[in-house]
Structure 1
């Protein structure tokens, strides 16, 4: 089958590889759609920290935002999965340690991540092997574009839940990339007053198109009381700004990851009695994201700028924006093309 393979920093191409076989407890999925994420780009460029700690290595087959149909079952798998449209959890714990047994498999000490770490092949390929325990069934109302947005949607929904707001309370989201906009959509569906902070007015145009009138740059951000702040940016200075802006006794959820270390004075947090929460992975938010998409309380499809074939995926990782792409931040790959 065809799969995108990263062979070194800045080196990638579609190769013919052996197709996956469903081991006991696994299924094989024919991939309908896969999203390209900032993590995939960092794996391509060589900037991803896992490449320097030995958690990831080349050659590497990326892709962890996906949906598809189950075509093969391994031993011990319920036959009812065959033919079903599914997506899956990226985070694969060992299943036996205290963290996994407590429902925190996303921080398992032996964690493998589909398309990211410990050599687990990803979804920028025609087929993908996945443990059945990671699967989530997709209703018919969740099309391929939404199906491949479940994983980032789960991350964004976890950040919104971490804000712990009541309907009508005011939320500020720092960053207007995929996660920031998804968080805004989920927060609005929960009844919160949502505002976004972006780098420039051009970057805020899509947010306004999506109906968010409160889309600001730093100079024109109004001095409103922000009950909670979500930092969905990759700017090292914004974690401190989040604490500065949030109301005393408010909450800050950190889901963006900066390439360089952030400087955050914990005295500012302490003296404002701020609660700060870090978000890693979408595991606990996947079911909620599927339900929101299926029930149409959240339509994330405008975030997808273009869908291209597998042959174009290396160019997308290198920063090429497909011809005719819309304003959204997300590029999808259809490996069947």
Structure 2
């Protein structure tokens, strides 16, 4: 089958690779759509930390935001999965440790991450093998575009839930990328007044084109009481700025990662009685994201600017937007093209 294989920083292309087989407990999915995200870009540039600490190595197959149709089931798997439209969890725990047994498989020390960690092949291919336990069925109301947005949606929803927001509260989402704009949509859907902050006026053009009225740079952000801050950036200065601006007794949620260490002054954290929360992975938020999409409460499709074929993956990873792309921050790949 065809797959996009990355051999090193800036070096990758479409190759023929063996077709996966559904081993016991697994299914094979015919992939419909794959999202390209910042983590994929970091592998393409060679900046991803997992490459330095031994959790990942080239060559590798990227792709952890995906949806498709189950075409094969292995031994011990319910045949009812055959023909069903699905997406799935990226984080595959060992299933035996204390963390996995307590429902925290996404932080299992021995976990695999599809298309990211441990050599587990990703979805930038015509087919993908995945454990049946990781599957989430997609209702008919969720098409291919939204289906491949469930994984980033789960991350964004978890960040909003961690912020403990209620209708009428006011929040700042730092970062006008896919996670930030999804978080803004989830929060707004529940009656929260949302402000989005970007590093420059140009970075906010997509957000404004997608209907974000309260989009600012840090210099323009109104000095108002903010009940929550959600950092969805890779800017090492944002964690401290968010802590400075949040209301005492409220919450700061960190979901973005800088390539260099970012620091906060814990004296401010204590003296303001602020709760700081870190979010890793969409795992506990996948079902909720599906529910929000299926109900129409949140529509992720406008965030997808374009869909390219598998051969266009390298250009997308290199930061080149396809001709005619819309205003959204996300680019999708259709591996069948």
Give the TM-score, by structure 1 length.
0.99
Moved more, 19-28 or 214-223: 214-223
In the alignment of these two chains, the number of paired residues is: 337
2:40 corresponds in structure 1 to 40
1:264 deviates by 1.1
Q: Determine if contact 2:93/2:100 at 8 Å carries over to the other structure.
A: yes
1:207 deviates by 2.4
Q: Determine if contact 2:189/2:298 at 8 Å carries over to the other structure.
A: yes
SS at 2:110's partner residue? Answer: coil
2:19 corresponds in structure 1 to 19
In structure 2, distance between residues paired with 1:327 and 1:208: 9
2:331 corresponds in structure 1 to 331
1:132 corresponds in structure 2 to 132
Deviations 1:255-286 (A, max 9, x none): 01111111211111111111000000000100
1:78 corresponds in structure 2 to 78
SS at 1:181's partner residue? Answer: helix
In structure 2, distance between residues paired with 1:215 and 1:82: 44
Structure 1 unmatched ranges of 5 or more: none
SS at 1:159's partner residue? Answer: helix
2:276 corresponds in structure 1 to 276
2:288 corresponds in structure 1 to 288
Moved more, 38-47 or 201-210: 201-210
In structure 2, distance between residues paired with 1:114 and 1:66: 10
Matched, 1:110 2:96: no
1:100 deviates by 0.6
Deviations 1:207-253 (A, max 9, x none): 23333321111121111100010001110000000100100011000
Give the TM-score, by structure 2 length.
0.99
In structure 2, distance between residues paired with 1:305 and 1:212: 16
1:203 deviates by 2.3
In structure 2, distance between residues paired with 1:205 and 1:53: 36
In structure 2, distance between residues paired with 1:205 and 1:298: 21
In structure 2, distance between residues paired with 1:88 and 1:204: 31
In structure 1, distance between residues paired with 2:230 and 2:282: 15
Structure 2 unmatched ranges of 5 or more: none
1:323 deviates by 1.0
Deviations 1:146-202 (A, max 9, x none): 000000000000000000011111111111001000000011112111111112223
In structure 2, distance between residues paired with 1:208 and 1:327: 9
Q: Determine if contact 2:210/2:328 at 8 Å carries over to the other structure.
A: no
1:318 corresponds in structure 2 to 318
1:59 corresponds in structure 2 to 59
Matches within 5 A, 1:182-193: 182-193=182-193
In structure 2, distance between residues paired with 1:134 and 1:48: 24
2:265 corresponds in structure 1 to 265
1:149 corresponds in structure 2 to 149
In structure 2, distance between residues paired with 1:204 and 1:311: 29
2:196 corresponds in structure 1 to 196
Aligned-pair Cα RMSD in Å: 0.8
SS at 2:302's partner residue? Answer: helix
In structure 2, distance between residues paired with 1:83 and 1:11: 35
Deviations 1:24-55 (A, max 9, x none): 00000000000001101111111101011110
In structure 2, distance between residues paired with 1:212 and 1:240: 24
